[in-house]
Amino acid sequence: MSVLRHRTWIGILVLALALAGLAALPTPAHAAPAVCALACDTLDPSKARQETFPVPDRNINGRVLRLHVSDPDNMAWASIDKGVRGDSVWLDRSWDRGATWEPLLGRASIPDTWTGTRTLMYNVSDPVGHRRGWIRACGDAGAVTCTDWVYPRVCDGTSCDGADPATASGDDTPVPSTSIFGRAVSLHVDQRSGMAWGVIEGGGAGDEIWLDRSWDAGASWPEGSSLGRRGVASGASSTRTAMFATRDPRGLLYGGAVRACGREASHQEGSCTAWARPAPTRARAAADALLASYQTNEGWWPSSWWNSAVALTSVIDFAERSGRHDYDWVIARTFEQNRGVFPAGVRSSDAIEGHFISRAIDDAAWWAVAWIAAYDYTGERRYLDEAVTITDYVHQFWDPGTCGGGVYWDRERTYKNAVTNGLYLWLTTSLHQRLAGDTVWGGRAGTAADWYLASGMINSAGLVNDGLTRGCANNGQTVWSYNQGLAIGAFTQLWRSTGNGRYLDTATRLADAAVSSPALTRDGILTESCDLATNSCDDNQKQFKGIFMRHLADLADATGSASYRTYTERQADSIWAKDRDSLNRLGQRWSGTAPNPSDWRTQASALEALTAAEHP
């Protein structure tokens, strides 16, 4: 179809809709590229996991126009029935609450001898693009008619847009109010439910208050502009909006931000508060902000391969400890989208050869850790089987011919280091615990433990250096928290498996050294060497501290130690008080000192610390 004919058709469509009495309609938006979330636009409806009809059918000259929705897929399709040849059906999709829309999505016409047809499936929302959509079915059968838009309100559980603030269980003001011509405009949040509303006070008739809602941390808000806009009544000096949700689980949108805005009656300009995200709990707030960075279509946090495994583990740990199931779908999504083959540069600088395996032995091992956590949480055997496959691969690089044992860090066999061997020790022990009747992995764990203790990587201060020289001596390189944490966790688990007191003694010796040595703890706060002065941590180092906290929490649970629990609580308190902004973004430096970058890696690391402080 030519551009001219296409524009002519759109004009005719808008006119027909207006003449049909559907209210004054805005101009449709131009079609956009396909949206991909759990699936990409144009999926066949035969693959839908569910079929519901959330809006009423429409009648077009005796034809039945219907909107079909599959919530598990976050997709919809349209059908027309009881029709004749040439009748047509399509979807409209809007990203700004119906002000504009992508028209004629999947347009299909009834062929000869048929009495109906349907479109393909299209995504209702776009979590990758941080956009919440509306969608409706439209048809042409001698007249053009559309159904209602589906899901015009956001619902988070039983809390939905439009609720009365009088029903809120709490009233917090997470950011300072703003003023405009003597009026005070404030943002109010029910932290427990994640609902928000705006208030304007000290004004007069005609003043206005509203909320803006953004799914990309305040970068844009087309779907959430002017929510609940309300004017101050004659004789009053204040008013408030209804409440609006900040999470849309149905649309796979989490970590929504809100702000309150107001306008004085005699002026056009307005003023808004800062953006904020609610915090039902500290850990849940961190998890919501982390999931806002999850790439739903590809099933990972781009663009870091092993870091995504650790981030997923942090989400699973949060779910396990908190009892919440908000993100259970993320586990399966990550597994299914990433266990295949990827060329170098797609998921990692190395090729991924299937089953999360690459030339970097430790990278593969981090994924095995994630799948053991997933198995423990879900009980699905496929995750444990995957962990076995990965750990079998890691075991291939155990080499007793050099340094008497130990696993190499890379396929080229250039270096034996603490992280790979800490992972191997933890994995072999964990598989032994989970595989009924196992003797193989248990034997390997005992051998690895003896080697680790004799290797010299643990120095005289009880701290783990980075690895061994070619001469098989401690190389004296940087003490990193994740190496310390992996050793703590591995020896804790060995003690759980065997009851051998020397393993628990080792774990506590390592933990006591970490919490007392300035190499890892400054003024009571876990601190990497790259956290000091003007240093900066690279993308790998940003996640080290969270790994330490995961394993220290395990030791605290195993021993009931009050001092370890006090330490975990101190980290969480410092993160929350000094390392958090109004959007619950958590930085690299838990003491809050500058420079303090934040991204999803630092978010996942801090989430582990906040989770560790939530006692089971």
φ, ψ (nearest 5 deg) of residue 364: -60, -40
Per-residue tokens: 28? 């449709």
CA distance 581 to 442: 45
Taking a C-beta distance cutoff of 8 angstroms, is the pair 136, 68 a contact?
A: no
pLDDT in tens, 396-436: 999 999 999 999 999 999 999 999 999 999 999 999 999 99
Distance, C-alpha 439 to centroid of its chain: 38
pLDDT at 561: 96
β-strand 134-140 against 144-146: which pairing, if any?
antiparallel
Which residues in the chain come in under a pLDDT of 50?
A: 1-26
Nearest to 91 by CA among 70, 120, 51: 120
Give residue 452's pLDDT.
98
The pairing of strands 102-109 and 63-70 is unpaired
**Residue whose pair of structure tokens reads 């399966």 in the numeric block:** 332
Which helix (H) or strand (E) segment holds residue 392: the answer is helix 381-395
DSSP 24-68: --PPPPPP-PPPBSSSBTTB-GGG-S--B--S--EEETTEEEEEE
What integer pLDDT is reported at residue 615 of this predicted model?
A: 67
Task: Report residue 171 as tokens.
Answer: 């009233």
> Cα(348)–Cα(343) distance, rounded to whole angstroms?
8
Burial category of 100 from C-beta neighbours within 10 Å (exposed 0-12, middle 13-18, buried 19 and up): middle
DSSP string over 301-328: -TT-HHHHHHHHHHHHHHHHHH---TTH
> Helix, strand or coil for residue 249?
helix
Residue 14 phi/psi, 5-degree rounding, is -60, -45
Residue that is written with structure tokens 């929302």 in the block? 125
What separation in angstroms does the CA of 363 have from each of 141, 465, 491? 58, 19, 21
Q: Which residues touch 278 (CB under 8 Å, ≥6 apart)?
A: 174, 189, 190, 191, 194, 195, 196, 246, 285
